[in-house]
Chain A
Amino acid sequence: MSIVEVNNAKKFYALGKTTVEAVKGVSFEIEQGDFTSIAGPSGSGKSTILNMIGLIDTPTDGEVFIQGQPVSKLKDREVTRLRHETIGFIFQSFNLIPVLTTRENIEFPLLLGRNNKLTRERREYVDFLIEEVGLQDRQKNRPNELSGGQRQRVAIARALVTKPVIVLADEPTANLDSATGDAILQLMKKVNRDLKTTFIFSTHDAKIVELADHIIRLKDGLVTENYKQTGA
């Protein structure tokens, strides 16, 4: 069964008196454990699709299914709970909470939701993630004391801390230099391989696209290619 299914999703925005058709009706499925790239030039609709999959935007028409569940009829509280339990986010601008330290930022999603106790098991998992992203000596630093790469590592650890089945990353390397970007992608790939987490990331960088095993190409709000590749 596919973990994500997008069925004829459309997204229109009103811009003054005109309507912008960001996504004109796209359909695709993503399997569990896929390392998926949604690729395309700027304005192709990849961020919009990612937002719809991440339940932070709703399609004007069509439906998005997460683990087989249609999400368009869910209430805000249910959407928030589903997002918390199912999806991890890695933002282009990192979006760390400025007043929290590295460790506190990573722990933050664990303190939301119904089960919000920091148990010993959860602390150990936070330790494991900090070690995985190589930030053991930066645990007590705040975001403004970290480099861009370090911040994105914190964001990756934070996205993984709730053990989500899907991690969404919107241009995760856009604000990083190429070496750091490569390192971040390798890290994501490693987590995908080791934890079987489904990664869906948007990019317009052809070099990064090649790392994905499932590629969905977009142009002008429509899917132009949707294929899987081996050996990535």
Chain B
Amino acid sequence: MGTIFKIALRNLTQHKVKTIIVGALITLGITLTFIGNSMFESAERGVKRGYSENFTGDVMVQARSDKKFSLFGFDEVAFGGNQDPTPVIQKYDQVLDTVRKLPQLASFTSQVSGFAFLNLDEKGQAFSLLFGVEPDSYFSTFPSIRILEGRMLRNGETGIMMSRKRLDQIAKDNKAVLKLGDDVLLNSFSNKGLKIRSLPLVGIYEYVVPTQALEVVSFIDVQTMRALDAMTVGSKDEVKVDASTQKALDASNDDFFSGSTVTAAPAQAKVDLNNLLGDKSVRNSLQTIDNGSWHNVLIRLKPGSDVTGTIADLNRTFAASQLPVKAVGWKQAAGTTAALTDVAQIIFNIVIIILAVVAVIIIINTLVISVMERTSEIGTMRALGAQKAFIRRLFIAETMLLAGFFGLIGIAVGSIGVLAINLAGIKIDNDFLQILFGSATLKPNLSLGQMALALVYTFFIGLVSWIYPVSIALKVSPLKAITTE
């Protein structure tokens, strides 16, 4: 083996230009991959921290549904009243009992999500994401909110809390200044009609953990949120009607004038004005706000808890108890915005794969040229008694030394790059990039995991690169030693 490495190493040093070209390519690829992946790793941590500490908790319990939905409702937003309502948790008390029994439970809160338009009279409307919360439990579960003006919303109180950033944005976009104590008019329009609610602005806040791009969320009391979301007692129930009513409901306009569908009341019948509308219980239930309706239960676990294991345990318990709910992690709870990081990382990885393929092709090309130039040498070795396995090992050693050495340089350069970016603390002004990197400052982390991953990439490049050149080298016969000058 010593001879093989000696020959491989000397061949690499002897053909300096080729070695440097291929090596530079490997170094560049590994450096870019290392820095990129380090940034995405810290981005994921940042996004996770931003979301789990501010919004989602570690685990979210939601109603079972065919469609995927997050803390913000269904992923596909349909404006204009056709938005599917976010499913409500059924058997809420039993769900809470299960949650309370978690040994690793730190705190939990429940929430109703929705959106509405902030009516600014002649200055237009501003779209608002709303979280309907029970303030005491919510702000003790997510304590990273800092009140800048006013105070926190209180339990049982009607009101709204808005972020400084959102108010500034409204001031900029709509030229409307909302001040503490102002009544904020919210309109929501769903398939159950238009809802309008007026709420006093009780507090202006900001997040301690930076999530600037998510500060569009406003907090309101849960009862108002339920009203805006049209979460009424009757909305969950199926209304049963008798056959004649069903016939009337199914009738077309023409039927009303044909005489068979609607029968005229006898002329001398007395009309009881109090009971003109008959049984109003269904109508009333459709107008009574359901005080027990919640969309999500957000759970924070004790530090160091096994989140994945907890989700699995909860789902097993829910299934065993036949509760129509499921536990999901922070990423599903966060919805499409958090998935942006994943998408960006996938795109980055595709770019890296393309780069790696190009690099491998160039390395293969260079090695093939090297094999052709060394036909006589390989043939001589074969003539002197070298088996094919020896030639194979020789080229594997060469590509591995090449990839290993320059891969390590790539990791070293990448590490310096990561540290430099970290020390420089590059500020991100763009909202999209802030969501993507989970922070207002670019601070990638140096991790052993990324170093190990870069080493794996390096050796993968080495492994893939030698296959074709070696197959050519193995075809070189000893006869070539004599016929090739």
Contact = CB atoms under 8 A, between A and B. Distances in A.
A122 to B, nearest CB: 14
Contact of A170 (B10, B390, B482): B482
A112 B7 contact: no
A22 to B, nearest CB: 13
Interface in B447-485: 477-479, 481-482, 485
Where chain B touches its partner, the secondary structure class is helix
Nearest to B15: A99
Contacts of B149: none
B390 A95 contact: no
Interface residues of B, number: 25
17 contacts: A51-B482, A56-B382, A76-B388, A80-B386, A80-B387, A85-B385, A89-B383, A92-B482, A95-B376, A98-B14, A99-B11, A108-B3, A109-B384, A112-B384, A112-B385, A112-B386, A112-B390
Contacts of B388: 76-77, 80
Contact of A89 (B3, B10, B384): B384
A40 interface: no
A93 B380 CA distance: 11
A57 B480 CA distance: 10
Contacts of B3: 108, 111
A203 B381 CA distance: 24
A81 B481 CA distance: 18
B377 interface: yes
A56 B478 contact: yes
Contacts of A98: 14, 377
A69 B265 CA distance: 121
A113 B385 contact: yes
Contacts of A51: 479, 482
B14 A99 contact: yes
A77 B380 contact: no
B383 A47 contact: no
Interface string A15-45: 0000000000000000000000000000000
Given A112-B384, A113-B385, A97 B482 contact: no
Contacts of A56: 382-383, 477-479, 481-482
Contacts of A89: 383-384
A91 B478 contact: no
Contacts of A100: 6-7, 10
A83 interface: yes
Contacts of B382: 56, 80
A56 B481 CA distance: 10
A54 interface: yes
A219 interface: no
A104 B383 CA distance: 17
Nearest to A55: B478
Interface string B380-404: 1111111110100000000000000
A77 B387 CA distance: 7
A5 B224 CA distance: 106
* 5 smallest beta-carbon distances between A and B, as pairs: A84-B385, A99-B10, A56-B478, A95-B380, A112-B385
A47 B385 contact: no
A158 interface: yes
A158 B376 CA distance: 16
Contact of B383 (A54, A77, A92, A96): A54
A54 B379 CA distance: 13
Interface centre among B383, B387, B477 (most CB of A within 10 A): B383
A109 B385 CA distance: 7
Interface centre among B379, B382, B387, B482 (most CB of A within 10 A): B482
Contacts of A112: 381, 384-387, 390
Contacts of B10: 99-100
A57 B479 contact: yes
A170 B383 CA distance: 13
B384 to A, nearest CB: 5
Contact of B377 (A81, A97, A111): A97
Given A83-B383, A100-B10, 13 more contacts: A47-B482, A54-B478, A56-B382, A77-B387, A85-B385, A91-B481, A97-B7, A99-B10, A99-B14, A104-B6, A108-B3, A109-B384, A170-B482
Contacts of B477: 56
Contact of A80 (B7, B11, B14, B385): B385
Nearest to B478: A56
A57 B479 CA distance: 7
A161 to B, nearest CB: 10
Interface string B235-267: 000000000000000000000000000000000
A54 B381 CA distance: 14
A91 to B, nearest CB: 6
Interface in B383-439: 383-388, 390
Interface centre among A80, A93, A170 (most CB of B within 10 A): A80
A91 B387 contact: no
Interface in B10-24: 10-11, 14
Contacts of B478: 54, 56, 83
B387 to A, nearest CB: 5
A99 B385 contact: no
A151 B387 CA distance: 24
